[in-house]
Amino acid sequence: MKRKACAEVGIRSFDVNLPEEVPESDLISKVHELNANPDVHGILVQLPLPKHINEEKVLGEISLEKDVDGFHPLNIGKLAMKGREPLFQPCTPKGCLELLSRSGVSVKGKNAVVVGRSNIVGLPVSLLLLKADATVSIVHSRTPDPERLVREADIVIAAAGQAMMIKGSWIKPGAAVIDVGTNAVDDPTKKSGYRLVGDVDFEAACRVAGWITPVPGGVGPMTVAMLLQNTLDGAKRVIEQ
């Protein structure tokens, strides 16, 4: 999907395919090589990495100016600080806020609940909502009563990776629901033997929510669009220097 999207908008992309058993040092050397290439304006390391590779170390080696995924520790650090702006925002969280904005959903002063606290979605989207002046709560595996918190939310961002854990009865009438989860569940009626569902029970929730994203076809394409935007922004910075 990413390669096709790049081609459609005129961004030249290429893959660097390394074997799963690649030494960490070789992967970092490849990142350094791309950092030094002036024709490369964005570097994306496909996650998750093999278990023998330190993900944090590899992401930290990406040039800050080419971190189009927005996962560099300095970008995340600036995202967490008041009055600071990262060079790039993480693509999926950025896409969630863009979906809310383009749907006419005001974030300021709203009660927002994020279900999940991963470094890729849950944590950064919570920080973006906070920057947009929402009152933010995070539901995670140790939260004693997640249903109560979700019921009070004007905005729900579901990113727990648990198929249909959020029931329609949990959703506040008129709430905006962004479902980031993508989970495979058995379905013998499908040729593949499975179908994809989100973290929200879509059929039940769509009867209550004011806005809701489907799975698939909701957040995924928006994530790719934000990756393209980040890459374009990175290229423009180089040209303007």
Catalytic residues: 2, 46, 69
Q: Which of 156, 141, 150 is nearest to 170 (CA)?
A: 150
Measured in Å, how far apart are the chain's first and last C-alpha atoms?
Answer: 31
Element at 196 (helix H, strand E): strand 194-197
Round to whole Å and give the CA distance between 164 and 160: 10
Residue whose tokens read 């009563």: 145
The amino acid occupying position 3 is R
Q: Output b/e per residue, 213-234; b: 16+ Cβ within 10 A.
A: bebeebbbebbbbbbbbbbbeb
Pairing type for strands 135-139 and 111-115 reads parallel
